[in-house]
Structure 1
């Protein structure tokens, strides 16, 4: 038997070790619901992304866009983050195993994030408000905002700034 010669490498291929760190494909983000009222009622100091523990019918309702975040808020107590009063409508094709629309839902965060948010919300005037629910790839996520309530003067300033921005856009377009 003759000794085999090493094969030449094919063009365009490299060994697995020379590729560097594995690249994740970009995940598609699909927004389901946005809490627009929170932007007006609260000053968002910080925000964090959290996963949600959901049942199958809740995921299907979310994909249909049947969710309301009007009175929703989140808490961090005893090392567990929970979303309260977020209304996810019952799934239309669900059976007897359909979910409770306003049940409290557990949020998935790292322990350090839970502890940091718990310390901040213990301070006077801070609360956790869900700003948006979206799908990141196949997983449902919620964007939580660490918020401080605005008083009437701050709300008026927000309205004034919004009106000035709209007027400037109108002037730029020539509608005005």
Structure 2
């Protein structure tokens, strides 16, 4: 029997939201399942998902993912899904209670960071974010630029 090759960690990643880390200071992350319909999971596996303007909201003891666009499945028929419908996130009760308590604070947002497959199920990594000011964003960009220049200089040196 042939050995199974280890896939890189990013091989199962379907969508990423780099704007979230630019706009928010992410303090804590949670892994949640997504309740999807049949054509939605097919579109997600094809990578037809956009997290750009998405956020999560706690309502009635449940967490809902809102404003996330999943394109209609190409081979779907009249039973295709609405691209912008709200989707339920599957979390434990204590995680939902923790999110509900934290999200009540002013300036705190629950944002999706990435979507990936884990054991055949679609998972979303959500983060608790506090909005950055414009000067914080500029400072972060400057720090990244300096780190890149240092790495480049060290590479040339050695």
Q: Please give the TM-score of this superposition, normalised by the length of structure 1.
A: 0.82
In structure 2, the residue matched to 1:154 is 136
In structure 2, the residue matched to 1:118 is 100
Q: SS at 1:134's partner residue?
A: strand
Question: C-alpha root-mean-square deviation of aligned residues, in Å?
Answer: 1.8
1:173 is displaced (CA, Å) by: 2.5
Q: Deviations over 1:25-46 (max 9, x none)?
A: x9x9610001000010000011
In structure 2, the residue matched to 1:10 is none
Aligned pairs for 1:1-176 within 5 A: 30-174=12-156
Report how many residues are paired: 150
Q: Deviations over 1:136-161 (max 9, x none)?
A: 01110000000000001110111011
Query: Mind listing any 5+ residue stretches in structure 1 that lack a counterpart?
Result: 1-25
Which structure would you say has the larger Rg?
1
Query: Mind listing any 5+ residue stretches in structure 2 that lack a counterpart?
Result: 1-5
Q: Deviations over 1:109-152 (max 9, x none)?
A: 01111111011000111010000011001110000000000001
